[in-house]
Structure 1
Amino acid sequence: TKEDYKKEYGEKPLGEFVREIVGLDMNAAKEAFAGYLDETNLDSRQIYFVNQIVEYIVHNGMMKDLSVLQEPPFTDRGSVAEIFTDMNVWLGIRNVIEQINTNAVA
């Protein structure tokens, strides 16, 4: 029941709960980042970083805590600041992450 759900999971939106269990389809995740993987001239470190984000989101359904980006495997080739010297590119990628998170709650 709704009461049982609230008792067990609090105010967590159902869509977020489902995403945490089943993750996100690989094709959907790649499509969300296609503008960066296919259309932006990223170097190999940036592509690696974005692919790590895709893998994380496929497995976990979303990326609510961006602090994970400061840990391996994301930092295997450098920090966010080292990899994305053009902050506009990074902000665009971050917006995609936020949109994926928002879609889970909607």
Structure 2
Amino acid sequence: ELKLLCGADVLKTFQTPNLWKDAHIQEIVEKFGLVCVGRAGHDPKGYISESPILRMHQHNIHLAKEPVQNEISATHVRRALGQGQSVKYLIPDAVITYIKDHGLYT
């Protein structure tokens, strides 16, 4: 079973004009589904109820509850790397090495 795993910050971007095509959102939630991890300052239930596509397929959207709040998102890591900031204590050293070896996010 394959699902899109994303933070609530990504779920919110489904509402951003010209960022996602409705057909792509429809395909993701209808064919695969998604698991959404909460983020501080975001309301994933609200995002679902405000979107006709997400609302229609809400049975295939699972909201994950984190036992400990974690504000480390992939978006944050990419932004930090792009700005030349250290991510040493945010992600494993092996991942940092891979990113550097492959010239990602520079």
Which TM-score band (shorter chain)?
under 0.3
Which protein, 1 or 2, shows the higher relative CO under an 8 Å CA cutoff with sep ≥ 6?
Answer: 1
Whose strand fraction is larger, Structure 1's or Structure 2's? 2
TM-score, with length taken from structure 2:
0.21
